[in-house]
Chain A
Amino acid sequence: MPDRRCKRIFAMLSDYLNAELPVKNCREVERHLKGCEPCIAYLESLKNTVEACRRYQVRKIPAPSKKVREALLLALR
């Protein structure tokens, strides 16, 4: 990363994306992002990563096994 300030911001970006950063730090990140192209690009790439994870779905879900169905029926009696 370009300089020490970028390193400090880098360490806060994950919490920033989660909106879990204290207001003071959040302002610091936003001020820094206004003037730092590499950090803006990095934040975008981190957002894309989180978005890819959110959209990921397991394709084929098999039916519950016979044992599970039997256990459920027993529980409902």
Chain B
Amino acid sequence: MDWVNTQIEEALKSLQSGNRQDAERALETLQGVVYGFGMKVCGSHEDAQDTAQETLIRLARQLREFPDARALSVWLYKVAKTQCLMSRRKSKFAPAQMLSLDDLMPKESDLSPAETKSWQVTPEETVLRLELRSRLEDAILALPKHYRLVLILRDMEQLDTREVAEVMGISEQTTKKRLQRARVFVRNALAGYARHLNERKSKSHA
């Protein structure tokens, strides 16, 4: 979790320095981390703001107890995850269900290189990225919650497998399985979007 870890490491130093200005800056950083995580998991500003508030108030009460950034990071995500699961808008979560790899397995017709290219992330495709962003958000919110949390922690927050397992309270093996299914689920949703784009392109050329 290089990027997030660096931010959390700096924030922890500032918070523990006792300097008020540094601590307030650190608080802004951690608000970004926790609110961002809450938005990705809950998909609602109110729930994300509640998550950030509850998590950061708890953090303020035990500021000096964290030996290093890793401990703080795992603690932050653990508390934020629990807050998200208790959020007011529980209906946003898809029902808890198991995703079967057999059901998610693509058909040969889904595997054309042209379709893959059409959702490749390139800096110049800003319009596509906006659409892609919205499709990605929809796909993630459609994931059952335990798969969604693992995907967000691993691929968006960029924690490593061990850290995700620790935050989730599951084994590394289960973490990997959930991640695999979540990635395939989101990949299939984006493939559907790519097909739609290609059809739109061919119609406009006709």
Contacts and interface: CB of A to CB of B under 8 A. Distances in A.
Contact of B132 (A52, A71, A76): A52
A40 to B, nearest CB: 8
Contacts of B45: 62
Given A44-B116, A65-B53, A20 B176 contact: yes
Interface string B146-163: 000001000110100100
A54 interface: yes
A18 B161 contact: yes
Interface string A8-30: 00110111001010000000000
Chain B interface mostly: helix
A6 B120 CA distance: 23
Chain A interface mostly: helix
A62 B132 contact: no
Interface residues of B, number: 52
A61 B186 contact: no
A73 B55 CA distance: 16
Interface in A25-64: 37-42, 44-46, 48-58, 61-64
Given A38-B111, A72-B60, A64 B28 contact: yes
Interface stretch (B32-40, B66-74, B78-86, B91-99): B32-40
Contacts of A62: 31, 35, 45, 49
A49 B183 contact: yes
B31 A75 contact: no
Contacts of A55: 121
B142 interface: no
A46 B36 CA distance: 24
Contacts of A68: 27, 31, 52-53, 56-57, 60
17 contacts: A1-B107, A14-B184, A18-B179, A37-B111, A40-B113, A46-B184, A48-B119, A56-B40, A58-B36, A61-B36, A64-B27, A65-B49, A65-B52, A67-B53, A69-B24, A72-B56, A72-B60
